[in-house]
Amino acid sequence: MKLITKQLLKEGPGFAKMVPEEGEDLWHAYNLIREGDRVEATTFRKVQTDRGTGSESERVKLKLMVRVEAVEYDAEGQQIRLKGKNMTENEHVKLGAYHTLELELQRAFTLHKDVWDSVDVERVRTACDPAASADLAVVLITEGLAHLCLVGSTCTLTRAKIEANIPRKRGAAAAGYDKAMESFYDKVFAAVLRHVDWDIVRCLVIAGPGFAKDEFREYLDKEAQRREARVLLLNRSKILLAPASSAYKHSIKEVLAGTVVAGQIKDTKAAREVQALQDFMTMLGQDPSRAFYGPGHVHAAHEMGAIQTLLITDSLFRTTDIKKRKKMVALVDEVTAGGGTVHVFSGMHASGEQLNQLTGIAAILRFPLPDLEDQEFEADW
């Protein structure tokens, strides 16, 4: 995300003008923009014009500000749609009329808030940090199926899905097996060349069950030399093999947790989140009086000053309940001020999806609280 200008105060009003430069930036924008905010951007409106020979419609380029009433995020189309009432004096759109702004890559927008809390301020800082880019590429592959994913600091994006019908090795169709596999590997090879930006990517992991991953690695090396694909030859040391139980996107969490990859990506946000979730699950199994999940139990533990590590998903902050959001932001701030560690998980990562299954909030405690285990709390704060 490119930050053009900002004037904002923590816990006060202000604005930030930004340009989304890649898909991950739109995820940041989706998490920043909420109902009641004001967003200003260039947009297009179909208007009727009378040229004397009858009315004609044409698309007019406008700059409008809307007060947001609904936010829709389209990950595949890389677009955010904001529905709200127009706040800009304009000959084509009446004040108070509904309009839908579409935020896209390379199109600037200005976000105005009455209150910028600490989570939003940190989100802007993270989004505009050039180091927080998609620095890991993963090819999940098995016979006839491959997914190429880019793993960034906040989301995992599927850049290519390759499927092919592979005949059985045995019987009359055996002759077609090698040819089908070579054609399949060629398509995966092309996807790697197209989607992996080696100026950003720290390493490419080829993972999956069986021998397909090993065979594709050999194919990649052979073809890189044959085609003189300089970018692959120069970055050969950054290509790793890792085990995975499937070639589907959810297996990325296995890849991130594996010792093969951990050393290469230990400093990335995604890797730290995976490790924190592993630590929580281990503690939950070994000493459940020091591991709690659910808003009621976590908040009760916080009131006793017991939280060492807080795990929370960004989806919880997208609530339109201002009181609830303020309480969650306060929890994050107070745990941090008390010397604890806070991990805000992305719902676009496999680890964030896993945490969401555990209510979206969990904590590892400094000391055991056995009495808290048996208490029941309301689902909401």
Q: What pLDDT band is residue 173 in, cutting at 50, 70 and 90?
A: low
Whether 204 has a pLDDT exceeding 70, the answer reads yes
pLDDT, position 52: 61
Distances, alpha carbon 133 to alpha carbons 7, 16, 44, 96, in Å: 24, 20, 30, 38
Which of 133-147, 151-165, 289-303, 313-327 tops mean pLDDT? 289-303
The average confidence (pLDDT) of the chain is: 88
Model confidence pLDDT, tens digit, residues 238-264 = 899 999 999 999 898 888 877 767 666
Judged against a pLDDT cut of 90, whether residue 283 lies above it is answered with yes
Mean pLDDT of the region 267-289: 86
Q: Report whether pLDDT(199) > 90.
A: no
Average pLDDT over residues 88-110: 91
